[in-house]
Amino acid sequence: MAKGQKKSKASESLSLEQILFNCRDYLRGNASLNDKRDLLLTLVFLRFIGEKFDDAVENIKASLASEGLDVNNPEIMNAFLNDDSSFVGAYFLPEHARWSYLLTVEPSKLNSRLDDALSAIDTSSKALKGCTQQGLFTQLNLESSVIKKVVDEVDKISHKRFGVEKDLIGRVYEYFLRSFAITATKEDGEFYTPHDAVELIAAFVEPFDGTLYDPCCGSGGMFVQCAKYVEAKQGDISRVNVYGQESDPATFRLAKMNLAVRGISYHLGEKNASTFTNDQHKGMTFDYIMANPPFNLKSWYSSELRDDARWSGYQTPPENNANYAWILHMLSKLNPAKGVAGFLLANGALGDDDAVEIRHKLIENDKVEAIVVLPRELFYTTDISVTLWILNQNKKGGKWHGRKQRNRQNEILFMDLRQWTENSVSKEQKKKVKLVAEQVERAVEIYHNWQDEKTDGMNYAEPELYRSVDKAEIQQNNWSLVPSRYIEFVDRDGDIDYKKVMKTSCAKVAELLKSQKENEKALEKAFKELGYEI
């Protein structure tokens, strides 16, 4: 018994990263990077929905027992267990698709039984259909001892232990991006937006009701983390309808998997497809947009996009960089009366020469509300500083989410957070910083105060942090949106007495030289006493 207890405590001490490292170690030489990722994500998915199913069963039993019904009666239990409506916050699973059953399968049959489970889930649940890759385990055909070790290791990943609110699917995905940077480039779309960055975007956009859209939703982590933010602030995620699109087939399945296990109602289109050449939500507009598009994507353009309606009133975006194609696509998707968008882009988009006319038009049309430069090293796969853009279709003021806003037409708020790097993340493979709750709240406070009806926009500034700027000044800077052109930076060298500094420095150097000469003389004397000439 003591042994079992010791083993249990050892298991509890393992971090999610250590469990995944162990799985990766078991799979060494048995699968490619993408296969390892897909296999582990699928197992975590099965583990997650299986655990939630088991929790639902226990709740059903408790409810029946409280009503005086015999929970040991198979007929009574089966009547409830076979009724989908009994499973609140979970999905009904056929018996051979349940995690508790899969743990009992003998290792030699585990690959085929896992695929049987995936097939059963795909055919028995409309919400879970298309979430997983069918035939994955028999295709990889891992040795029985290997797949058994991996399944037992994944069994340690419990949402009870790691937190019901955590994006476990996303964290597994994130782990592979951090650990295997081979394909984890922002242009390839292999990217996971950290929680603090999502929270900042959500806090600015406030997607508390209506429709929310992400044109490059990746693993769906943006939606999952945004849902947690909305629940924390408003308490009712059911008021938000989620729409998204993803081009990569494996990531598309992952997004469906991630949203399904969270119980988030979603619309990701009929299939994975390029947002530019095959818009899955054509003709639709949305109340809110949150996105983190691939930075500086080169391979986006097709000749059929030259006169696309999304560029109407603007120039066609540069063919060698998709930054402004993403901007115009999202603008075309915003509710024309009240839509708000928050998205991340590489800093180069703030002043690109080949997009100056589009940027000019965006500012002239008064679509840009705020530009926020974020700290470096917020992300795992890039250490560059990136920018949060806020587009707003209504800057005229009025009531908004319980606040009274002023008319902000022809003004843009610039914010520079690059100095907020004091909060480092420990135990990471590379240097990484994070925005803590107090910093997110401070940034949002600056933004909301600027919008407030009592604020004078022409005198709203704090050196080295933020400043409200009118269109005329931006025009004088050739329509550049680089915050450092507008925010005052203090010259701390202005008060330095350079003569005094030089005098002090020279005195220190002279003292060092004097000391060196004295040491040389002492050394020479010592050698002579020993009979050596220098």
Which tokens in the block code for residue 292?
């983190």
Contact 467, 461 (CB under 8 A): yes
Q: Which residue has the tokens 């679509």?
A: 367
Answer whether residue 341 shows pLDDT above 50: yes
pLDDT score for 1: 42
Whether residues 214 and 296 share a domain: the answer is yes
Please indicate, yes or no, if residue 6 is contained in any of the structural domains.
no
pLDDT score for 2: 43
pLDDT score for 99: 95
Whether residues 29 and 97 share a domain: the answer is yes
**Which CATH number is 272's domain given?**
3.40.50.150
Q: Per residue in 477-489, pLDDT tens?
A: 999 999 999 999 8
Under the banding of pLDDT at 50, 70 and 90, the label for residue 515 is: confident
Best CA proximity match to 176, nearest among 50, 377, 35, 382: 35
Please indicate, yes or no, if residue 3 is contained in any of the structural domains.
no
Whether residues 202 and 338 share a domain: the answer is yes
Q: Which residue has the tokens 């030259």?
A: 306
Whether residues 93 and 209 share a domain: the answer is no
Q: What is the DSSP string of 290-303?
A: EE-PPTT--TT--G
Please indicate, yes or no, if residue 173 is contained in any of the structural domains.
no
The residue ranges of DSSP E strands in 209-303, in sequence order, are 210-214, 240-244, 266-267, 288-291
Mean pLDDT of the chain: 85
pLDDT score for 143: 94
pLDDT score for 37: 78
Q: 3-state class of 213 per DSSP?
A: strand
Count the neighbouring beta carbons within 10 Å of the beta carbon of residue 125: 18
Please indicate, yes or no, if residue 188 is contained in any of the structural domains.
no
Backbone angles phi, psi at 199, to 5 degrees: -60, -40
**Which residues span the domain enclosing 63?**
11-164
Instruction: Return the HEC string of 334-394.
Output: ECCCCCEEEEEEEHHHHCCHHHHHHHHHHHHCCCEEEEEECCCCCCCCCCCCEEEEEEECC
Please indicate, yes or no, if residue 183 is contained in any of the structural domains.
no
Rounded (to 5) percent helix, strand, coil in the chain: 50, 10, 40
The whole-number average pLDDT for the span 27-49 is: 84
Q: What is the pTM of this model?
A: 0.80
Whether residues 215 and 131 share a domain: the answer is no
pLDDT score for 38: 84
Whether residues 297 and 401 share a domain: the answer is yes
C-alpha to C-alpha distance for 378 and 388, rounded to whole angstroms:
12
pLDDT score for 70: 80
Q: Percent of the chain scored above 90 by pLDDT?
A: 52
C-alpha to C-alpha distance for 63 and 40, rounded to whole angstroms:
34
Answer whether residue 241 shows pLDDT above 60: yes
Which amino acid is residue 328, in one-letter code?
L
pLDDT score for 378: 85
Whether residues 475 and 503 share a domain: the answer is no
Backbone angles phi, psi at 265, to 5 degrees: -70, 125
The whole-number average pLDDT for the span 505-518 is: 74
Q: Per residue in 156-199, pLDDT tens?
A: 988 777 765 455 666 776 676 555 433 444 444 445 688 899 99
pLDDT score for 89: 67
Which amino acid is residue 191, in one-letter code?
F
Please indicate, yes or no, if residue 317 is contained in any of the structural domains.
yes
Q: Per residue in 45-64, pLDDT tens?
A: 899 889 888 888 888 888 88
Domain count, the chain: 3
Whether residues 309 and 378 share a domain: the answer is yes
What secondary structure letter does DSSP report for 427? S
Q: Which of residues 141, 164, 187 is at a domain's end? A: 164
Q: What angle do CA 312, 316, 321 make, to 5 degrees?
A: 135
> How many helices and strands in the chain, by DSSP H and E?
18, 12
pLDDT score for 318: 96
**Which CATH number is 131's domain given?**
1.20.1260.30
Q: In what order do the strands lie in the sheet with 368-373?
A: 266-267, 240-244, 210-214, 288-291, 340-346, 386-392, 368-373, 411-416, 466-470, 461-462
Q: Which of residues 146, 164, 182 is at a domain's end? A: 164
Please indicate, yes or no, if residue 210 is contained in any of the structural domains.
yes
Q: Percent of the chain scored above 70 by pLDDT?
A: 85
Question: Comparing 105-109, 227-231, 408-412, 484-488, which segment has the lowest mean pLDDT?
Answer: 227-231
Under the banding of pLDDT at 50, 70 and 90, the label for residue 429 is: low
Whether residues 148 and 278 share a domain: the answer is no
Whether residues 108 and 146 share a domain: the answer is yes
Whether residues 408 and 504 share a domain: the answer is no
Please tell me which of 419-433, 473-487, 496-510 the model is most confident about, judged by mean pLDDT: 473-487
Residues in a beta bridge with 341: 289, 391
Whether residues 141 and 220 share a domain: the answer is no
Please indicate, yes or no, if residue 490 is contained in any of the structural domains.
no
Under the banding of pLDDT at 50, 70 and 90, the label for residue 293 is: very high
The whole-number average pLDDT for the span 18-42 is: 84
Q: Which residue has the tokens 């600027």?
A: 450
The whole-number average pLDDT for the span 286-313 is: 94
